[in-house]
Structure 1
Amino acid sequence: MASQLWCLQLIAKQIHRPVPAMLKQQHHHQVTIHGVKTVVSIHPSQLAIHPVSKLDSILGNFYLHTVIYFDKVPTSSPWEVEREELNFSLAEVLDLFPSVSGRLRVLDNGNLGIKSNDAGIRVVEATCDSSLREWLEAEKDGSNRQQLLPEVRISDYSVSPLLAIQYTLFRGGGLALGLSWCHILADFMSMDLLVKLWGEAHRKQGKLSSRPTSSVDVTSADVQLPQPFAHTNLSIKASELDTRVFHFGSKVVEAITRESGGGGGETEALCAAVWKAVVKAQEQPSSGNSRLCLWSNTNLERNRGYFGNSATAFKFVDAVSPLGQSSVSDVAKAIQLGTRTNGSYKCASSFFANNVLFCNWAANVPVYDDADFGFSKPFYVEFLAAPLFGEGMVTIAPGREGGRSKSVCVSLQSEAMKRLLQESYFGSSSTKPANGVIS
């Protein structure tokens, strides 16, 4: 009876997600949904409004996604028991972050805010009829990854959960933990904090604490928009976006690092190569110099207790020449120039004309170590973004080979994507996986 206070069963019937015909014929892998629950915090939170920053309001409502793979789950107790323990420890963590179980609302002043109303987060329970190894072998192109993520619909943000989670248990004991959350709620770094605390709660590591170390209110920080945005109507308009995932092997990453001059390491090198190619695919002949946007993680490291989207910490740096016409080494130097005065960065963006492109360096998110639930460390993590704003988003994340390879998810307008596929390192030939295998 006690569990009913924090976990409400909503759906208790099996749902079979459709599988692409080719995949079904060759592999017969199928994910079956057995139930959907709503998990809320153990103790009711005081109704509070968390204001949404100006930059978040501009970008609009889109979701970030992470799939964390575990090669085994506990054998000391049935999975049904372990699953309920995971839900209970998640409810404990929600006590620390009431905004996570809230909903977006339009405030009296017309701005967006998150209302902590204990509406809860959605938890999906599913199984897969294949083993984890069989699934990953069939999913090298990522074409069916969506089955491991909870379905979220943002057409009505007033009822959509800000965070949804899916447990997918594979035949033989492997587990995929899929998380989908609204970017207005949190960025990759903050979600990593939630996963870390969730693991601590599940391992019974004592009293939980969000460990706030500063009273700085990042969400209310003022955003100084760069030109031409300062005098532009920033209405969000829908555009036809094409999303593809490129996989760069460790040898290609090493080659790009050498091409960049090697002074800044893989981080600056790969980000510079992606930046240059994407901006070149986007730029119009009349475009001027691009404006780099670097984000320092210095404050976040000091304020580990802050939970939210830290995008308001962006710093804008003018590039010396149009990025699309620059060499990879020149772009890398521009990034290094900005980071020398702004600390190490986790995110980067390029502004040009009236468009915005975000490049999230998710590789620095320590989810490999933080997602520790006591049964096994993750052996593979995927990051994805599903933007619904502006002109696109790029997410760079650790790939296989122990994280030495990189996975790059790119969302661009369809015409820009066609041009991107003509750029170096982004060729569409599946016979040369080192040059980018596209889902």
Structure 2
Amino acid sequence: MMAEVKSSRVKVPSLLTVVSSKPTAPGRVHKFTALDHAMGFHTGHIVFYYRRNPIGDGASMENDLDNLRISLSELLCLYPPVTGRLGRGADGNWEVKCNDAGVRMLKANVCATLDEWLRYANAAEERDLTVWEDLPDDPHIWSPFRIQINDFNCGGLAVAISFTHMHADFTSATLLIKSWAEIHRHEPVAHPPIFNLPSVINESAAYRRSSSVFSETNSEFEIPSVRMGRATFKFSEAKIRQCLSEVHESCPDASPFDVLAALFWSKITRLKSPACDDDNKCSLSMCIDLRKRERDSIPYGYFGNALHFSKLSVNAEELQSDRLAYIAGLVHQHVGSIRDEEFWANVAWLESHKKEGGQYPPPFQLFGCQLTCLSMENTISSEGSFTYAAMFKQNEKPIHVSYQIGNVGGEGLILVMPSPEEGLARIVMVTLPEEQIVKLCEDQTILGLQPSMLLNGKQ
């Protein structure tokens, strides 16, 4: 037991370790890919908000947590890299010793109702619902995955997970929680984890010849000193349909992501000085998940990083000209032109820059070094978004899911994701320097779409 006060409204009275119900075979080691190592500067944090307790009958929270730990132990049998500990291999690269050391689980009490929290809490307070720790110098007893169960006054609950981005991306971590919920409901796991990418890097010389967007990224970085803020905008299906109708003539196949990425990119560019490079070009670092594209070379169940970074550049005057349809068309064309080969080219570039002895280069600041736009459109299938399918109890879906990336600085991050509403509704989470966030929240074009503002309390 422990007594820790994380903030005036979030208190953590207990901490325990949950291990898998079946031991992993001795000596198992999980190797990280070149892309995993490149992501090592960042952490991932997800919070699933539930209107009611989704893990039991409400008779006793302690009994509910006991049952939750049992299902988590069963889940961890499928995920040896999650329960292991980090260490350096003979080549100097990070790897996971799958030794069943377990996952840290924290129980927290929140001195607010769920509605009060979503309406009035700010981004800094929301951090207290998860664990924020960077990789320590000696991580041999450090848990890379932390789960925090947050109990609100009203009976609402938030299930949060924190992890190193070297281990997993948002799709991987979301599917981990979804699989946990399926086991808790005594149902088959829809997407069992797959831990190895197919070995296709050397199958085509084109992969090796292609240049990589990583070659333009400066690996020598410092954590930015500027204070960052975050705002969350929830757009209804009706307003997204309105946006799509306005751009339909120029870009009939535009998606909600296309118009929202274009809208926020153009508005944020106006807030920056200077907003362009020496060639009068403004650039957006586009980040998309390549699972389930083209030849299904990266399946949904892959546990690791399957993110592809590319750059879209536009003339500054065009970007700031309020030609939303034109910019949305450029975003749509850019995303549609991305092929799996480009992902493998990035991986091959990282592989080719190993040091003598086989050690990978240092990690990059991939989120925020340039303004970055992350798409979560891959979480939407014909059955709906699996982001909101993490039901520990039947029909108890999350009412909101919050995604945060650690160590985002510099230009900032735009994240576009599905909303709990069915259809075209979307949520946009923006991380920018605080002064820019304040101005963005006052933008009349964005406010004209009547977004609901979540977790946007005064900083």
* Deviates further, 396-405 or 185-194: 396-405
2:406 and 2:444 map into 1 onto residues whose CA distance is: 21
Alignment of 1:193-208 (within 5 A): 193-205=175-187
Residue type of the alignment partner of 1:297: R
Alignment of 1:186-225 (within 5 A): 186-205=168-187, 210=192, 216=198
The alignment-based identity, stated in percent, is 24
Corresponding residue for 1:118? Answer: 100
Q: Which has the higher contact order (CA 8 A, sep 6+)?
A: 2
- Unmatched tracts of structure 2, length 5 or more: 344-364, 380-384
User: Is 1:297 the counterpart of 2:291 in the alignment?
Assistant: yes
1:68 and 1:190 map into 2 onto residues whose CA distance is: 15
1:212 and 1:147 map into 2 onto residues whose CA distance is: 31
Contact in 1 for aligned 2:239/2:449 (Cα 8 Å): no
Residue type of the alignment partner of 1:310: A
Corresponding residue for 1:266? Answer: 256
Corresponding residue for 1:362? Answer: 376
* Deviates further, 166-175 or 356-365: 356-365
Change (3 A) 1:268 1:57: same
Change (3 A) 1:259 1:105: farther
Alignment of 1:213-362 (within 5 A): 216=198, 226=211, 229-230=214-215, 234-241=219-226, 242-250=228-236, 253=240, 256-258=243-245, 260-261=247-248, 263=252, 264-278=254-268, 281=272, 283-287=275-279, 288=281, 290=283, 293=286, 295=288, 296-299=290-293, 303-311=299-307, 314=308, 316=310, 319=313, 321=315, 324-325=319-320, 327-342=323-338, 355-362=369-376
Of the three residues 178, 183, 193, the one matched with 2:165 is 183
* Deviates further, 171-180 or 150-159: 150-159
Two-structure CA RMSD over aligned residues (Å): 4.2
Of the three residues 377, 396, 406, the one matched with 1:386 is 406
Contact in 2 for aligned 1:426/1:435 (Cα 8 Å): no
Displacement of 1:191: 1.4
Displacement of 1:356: 3.6
Change (3 A) 1:432 1:234: same
Contact in 1 for aligned 2:398/2:420 (Cα 8 Å): no
1:137 and 1:289 map into 2 onto residues whose CA distance is: 34
Corresponding residue for 2:131? Answer: 150
2:31 and 2:196 map into 1 onto residues whose CA distance is: 18
Residue type of the alignment partner of 2:18: V
- Unmatched tracts of structure 1, length 5 or more: 1-11, 20-29
Change (3 A) 1:432 1:143: farther
1:112 and 1:56 map into 2 onto residues whose CA distance is: 10
1:146 and 1:219 map into 2 onto residues whose CA distance is: 38
Contact in 2 for aligned 1:362/1:396 (Cα 8 Å): yes
Displacement of 1:368: 4.7
Corresponding residue for 1:9? Answer: none
Change (3 A) 1:294 1:368: closer
* Deviates further, 233-242 or 116-125: 233-242
Of the three residues 83, 87, 100, the one matched with 2:65 is 83
TM-score by length of 2: 0.73
Displacement of 1:355: 4.0
Change (3 A) 1:171 1:227: closer
Corresponding residue for 2:393? Answer: 374
1:35 and 1:270 map into 2 onto residues whose CA distance is: 41
TM-score by length of 1: 0.75
- Does the residue aligned with 1:298 lie in a helix, a strand or coil? coil
Corresponding residue for 1:53? Answer: 33
2:195 and 2:166 map into 1 onto residues whose CA distance is: 23
1:225 and 1:235 map into 2 onto residues whose CA distance is: 23
Displacement of 1:174: 1.9
2:450 and 2:16 map into 1 onto residues whose CA distance is: 41
Change (3 A) 1:111 1:72: same
Change (3 A) 1:171 1:217: farther
Please give the per-residue CA displacement for 1:413-433, whole angstroms capped at 9, x wherever unaligned: x4xx6457556x763999989
Contact in 2 for aligned 1:67/1:148 (Cα 8 Å): yes
User: Is 1:71 the counterpart of 2:71 in the alignment?
Assistant: no
Corresponding residue for 1:8? Answer: none
Contact in 1 for aligned 2:391/2:397 (Cα 8 Å): yes
User: Is 1:15 the counterpart of 2:1 in the alignment?
Assistant: no
